[in-house]
Amino acid sequence: MRNKEPKSNVVRRIKKNKVITFEKIVVQNEEKNRYSTLLYLLALVGLTVAAYACYLGYCETRVNTPFNGAKVVGISGLDVPDTYWGTYRPGVYYGMKTRSPYSPVMGLMWYFPQVLHSQGDNIRHWCEQSDNLGRYGWEEHDGKTFGIQTIKDGPFNLVTSFVKRPGGNHGGDWSSRISVTSEKNHGVGQIVSLFFYAALEEKTKGWISPNENFEKKSHTPTGVIGWTEQLGDFTLRYFSRSKIVQHSFLATTVMRLEMLKDALISHLRHRRSDSVATLPGMVQTRNENGAIEKGPNFIITEITGRVPFEIEIVYESKSYYHRPSTLVGEMFDEELAKRRAHFNEKFDSVFKLKDHGNWNKTQSKFAQVVLSNVMGSIGYFYGSSRVISEYNSSPVPYWKAPLFTAVPSRSFFPRGFLWDEGFHGLLISTWDLDMELDIMCHWFDLMNVMGWIPREQILGTEALAKVPEEFVVQNAAIANPPTFFLTIQYILSNFGEDMIDPKRLAVLERLYPRFRAWFNWLNTTQAGELPGTYMWRGRVLLEPSPEINPKTLASGLDDYPRSSHPTSSERHVDLLCWIALGAAALAEVAELISADSTKYKRTFEMLSDDGHIASRHWSDVSESFADFGLHTDSLTLKRPPRKPNTPPHVPPPGMVRFVLEAPHYRYVDSAFGYVSLFPFFLQLLEKDSELLGIILSKLERKDLLWTDYGLRSLSTTSPYYMKHNTEHDPPYWRGQIWININYLAVRALHHYGTLPGPYSEKSKAVYERLRLNVVNNVMKQYQKTGYIWEQYNDRTGAGMGSRPFTGWSSLVVLMMAELY
Ligand SMILES: *[C@@H]1O[C@H](CO)[C@@H](O)[C@H](O)[C@H]1NC(C)=O
Ligand SMILES: *[C@@H]1O[C@H](CO)[C@@H](O)[C@H](O)[C@H]1NC(C)=O
- Residue 226: which CATH number? 2.70.98.110
- Whether residue 330 is contained in a domain is answered as yes
- Whether residue 497 is contained in a domain is answered as no
- Whether residue 322 is contained in a domain is answered as yes
Report the separation in Å between the CA atom of 611 and the middle of ligand 1, taken as the mean of its atom positions. Answer: 47
Taking the C-alpha atoms of residue 70 and residue 63, their distance in angstroms, rounded to an integer, is 18
Angle CA 710–713–717, to nearest 5: 105
Query: How many domains does the chain contain in total?
Result: 1
| Model confidence, pTM | 0.92
Omega within 30 of 0 (cis) for the link into 308: yes
Phi, psi values for residue 181, rounded to 5°: -130, 180
Which atom belonging to ligand 2 lies closest to the Cα atom of 579? 1
Kindly identify the ligand whose nearest atom is closest to the C-alpha of 361. Answer: 1
- Whether residue 276 is contained in a domain is answered as yes
Give the per-residue pLDDT at 648: 86
Host H or E run for residue 591: helix 573-592
Give the per-residue pLDDT at 117: 60
- Whether residue 46 is contained in a domain is answered as no
Nearest CA to 397 out of 321, 323, 473 is that of 473
Taking the C-alpha atoms of residue 499 and residue 444, their distance in angstroms, rounded to an integer, is 18
Give the per-residue pLDDT at 185: 72
* Full strand arrangement of the beta sheet holding 223-228: 135-141, 146-153, 156-165, 173-182, 309-317, 232-239, 223-228, 206-211
- 470 is an active site residue: no
Question: Would you call 40 helix, strand, or coil by DSSP?
Answer: helix
Give the per-residue pLDDT at 60: 85
- Whether residue 244 is contained in a domain is answered as yes
- Pairing outcome for strands 386-388 and 473-475: parallel
Taking the C-alpha atoms of residue 487 and residue 515, their distance in angstroms, rounded to an integer, is 12
- 316 is an active site residue: no
Kindly identify the ligand whose nearest atom is closest to the C-alpha of 590. Answer: 2
Q: Mutate which of 518, 522, 523 to test ligand 2's pocket (most atoms within 8 Å of Cβ)?
A: 523
Report the separation in Å between the CA atom of 616 and the middle of ligand 2, taken as the mean of its atom positions. Answer: 16
Neighbouring C-beta atoms of residue 793, cutoff 10 Å: 20
Report the separation in Å between the CA atom of 359 and the middle of ligand 1, taken as the mean of its atom positions. Answer: 8
Query: Is 776's C-beta closer than 6 angstroms to any atom of ligand 1?
Result: no
Output the ligand 2 site: residues, CB below 6 A. Answer: 520, 523, 527, 531, 583, 599-600, 603
Average pLDDT of the chain is: 92
Q: Whose CA is nearest to atom 14 of ligand 1?
A: 360
Cβ-contact 298, 199 below 8 angstroms: yes
Question: Would you call 401 helix, strand, or coil by DSSP?
Answer: strand
- For residue 96, what are the domain limits? 77-351
The residue from 140, 547, 633, 790 that is catalytic is: 790
| Contacts for 658 with CB less than 8 Å, ≥ 6 apart | 635, 636, 637, 638
Which ranges of the chain have pLDDT less than 50? 1-30
Give the per-residue pLDDT at 21: 35
- Whether residue 417 is contained in a domain is answered as no
Report the separation in Å between the CA atom of 213 and the middle of ligand 2, taken as the mean of its atom positions. Answer: 69
- Whether residue 197 is contained in a domain is answered as yes
